[in-house]
Chains A and B, each alone.
Chain A
Amino acid sequence: MGVGDPLGMAVTHAIASGMGGMRAAGDLVARMQMTRGMKIKEAKKYVAEKLGVSVPDLTDPIIMSEVRENLEIGTLHPVANHPQGIEAKANIAKVLDIDINCVKRLRESR
């Protein structure tokens, strides 16, 4: 993306063509591009299979809220006694079967 005020730029792109971030599964699909260099179709298919949902479900905030809560991988509205932040990322690493740099370094430092 790039410069411009957040409403004109970030919000407009997010609504026009984004995956919704952690409202849905955008952060998870992004992780597959970043860790495995997957193109978008492959990344969506991989994440959908790991989560046990269909590819269209990945951008549905209602379905994904339930999936994220059940798998304890971080939700937009924090749930009491559920993981947030780096704890949620430790679960994401397990669910997606990937290394997450900060989680790996935290484990190694212990």
Chain B
Amino acid sequence: MGKIKTRYGDGSPLEMSESELERDLEEGTADAADRGQIAPLSKEDLQHLTDIFCSPYRFVSVEPGNEVVLSYDGAPLKMWRTQISVNRIQCLEIYEKLLGADTLELGHVDYSYKPIKPIVGFEQPLMEKALMTTTAPLFYGAMPNLGLYSQPDGPFPNPAELMPMGKIDEARQAQEAAVEEAVKDIVFVAGSLYESGADGIILDTVGAAGDADFLAGLQATEILKEKYPEICIEFGMAGEFVLGMHGDLTYDGVRLAGLYAQDQVKLAEKAGATIFGPVCNTNTNKTAPWNLSRAITFMKACGEVANIPIHVNMGMGVGAVTVHDNPPIDIVSRASKGMVEICRLDGL
């Protein structure tokens, strides 16, 4: 066959031969298998990916019957970022009625639990009003974002400044103190929105500031689940493995630093999460076939051990989706189809 049109991880166009495509698919899965100590994709899986990338059509989709549930993060913010003049309830109505959304999510423009705490009294009535007019399940979402607890944005000394000075113990103590405050903020805000009727809570981009951030998410989930046994918590990750910014934190006896998706999900389950959102980062210097083969290898391993529903993160820059604000539909649709059909997924 002729040249296959695809893209690099940054979205720039690229043409490949079929043998180059197959080589990148094999190298992508081998990289994930090596890093995650997991099984590479089978020959059948790689052939399915070859067929998806060889499709001459600009858009591809799953076969009927393979559809999955979609959930979102920061949904109303996508419209605000493109300067559409709508309020947040109108955003939800547009997602529900015009964009085929299976679930909805209300979120604040400063999408972190800490800044929402002082204004939660304004977020609650908005949630209550949105629940009156919408039909689909409605989440409230935000990030633990432990970075906001470090000086100059927060009360504690900044670990990123302490570590280069060799003050490792002080950096660790600052992160441990931040975890305590973050857990209080998450529980307060999430609990308030749940008491206003939200169908679920999204803890998004958990682990963005490293293992302490991940620990805050786990501890907050555990407390919320104990306080509200019926609460739904979607626990979405930030990166493909947990950065060891502290390096010595554990949960349930497991060291958090360095955990990949297939190990993260077990701890999220233990803490009480209802849905888990694993992540695999996109490498901008590699091709879309390399990135998708690699991402699917990680996500498949996660799906195989998960007892709770899995919604893989497939936004810009993750899940083989290109790193660009305007993701091209040729790559997003191929990533969507490949991810759903090869992994044991419940949603995206």
Q: What separation, in Å, do the CA atoms of A89 and B309 have in the docked complex? A: 23
Q: Is the CB of B67 within 8 A of A19?
A: yes
Having A8-B332, A21-B70, A43-B69, one finds 16 other A-B pairs with CB under 8 Å, namely A1-B315, A3-B316, A4-B326, A7-B329, A8-B327, A9-B316, A12-B327, A16-B333, A16-B337, A19-B67, A27-B137, A34-B232, A56-B65, A101-B198, A102-B128, A102-B131
Interface string of B42-75 (1 = CB under 8 A from A): 0000000000000000011110111111111111
Q: Which of A6, A86, A106 contacts B82 (CB 8 A)?
A: A6
Question: Main secondary structure on chain B at its contact with chain A?
Answer: loop
Q: Is the CB of A22 within 8 A of B314?
A: no
Cβ-based interface call for B97 (8 A): yes
Q: Is the CB of A40 within 8 A of B347?
A: yes
- Inside 8 A of A86's CB, which chain B residues have their CB? 131-133
Q: Is the CB of A13 within 8 A of B309?
A: no
A7, A27, A92: residue with the most chain B Cβ atoms closer than 10 Å: A27
Q: Is the CB of B321 within 8 A of A21?
A: no
A21, A88, A99: residue with the most chain B Cβ atoms closer than 10 Å: A21
Q: What separation, in Å, do the CA atoms of A106 and B73 have in the docked complex? A: 27
Contact A10/B101 with A15-B61, A34-B137 known, Cβ cut-off 8 Å? yes
Cβ-based interface call for A62 (8 A): no
Q: Is the CB of B329 within 8 A of A21?
A: no
A–B complex contacts, Cβ < 8 Å, 16 sampled = A3-B74, A4-B327, A5-B82, A17-B337, A19-B102, A33-B275, A35-B232, A37-B275, A39-B309, A40-B68, A40-B309, A56-B64, A84-B133, A101-B197, A101-B199, A106-B197
Q: B308's closest neighbor in chain A, by CB?
A: A37
Q: What separation, in Å, do the CA atoms of A101 and B73 have in the docked complex? A: 20
- Inside 8 A of A12's CB, which chain B residues have their CB? 59, 327, 329, 332-333, 336
Q: What separation, in Å, do the CA atoms of A21 and B318 have in the docked complex? A: 23
Report which A residues bind B (CB closer than 8 A).
1-23, 26-27, 29-31, 33-35, 37-40, 43, 55-56, 59, 73-74, 76, 84-86, 88-89, 92, 99-102, 105-106
Q: Is the CB of A30 within 8 A of B337?
A: no
A-B contact count, CB below 8 Å? 220
Q: Is the CB of A35 within 8 A of B134?
A: no
Q: Is the CB of B329 within 8 A of A33?
A: no
Cβ-based interface call for B8 (8 A): no
Q: Is the CB of A14 within 8 A of B346?
A: no
- Inside 8 A of A8's CB, which chain B residues have their CB? 326-329, 332
- Inside 8 A of B333's CB, which chain A residues have their CB? 12, 15-16
Contact A11/B99 with A1-B70, A16-B337 known, Cβ cut-off 8 Å? yes
Q: What separation, in Å, do the CA atoms of A38 and B136 have in the docked complex? A: 17
- Inside 8 A of B61's CB, which chain A residues have their CB? 15-17
Cβ-based interface call for B103 (8 A): yes
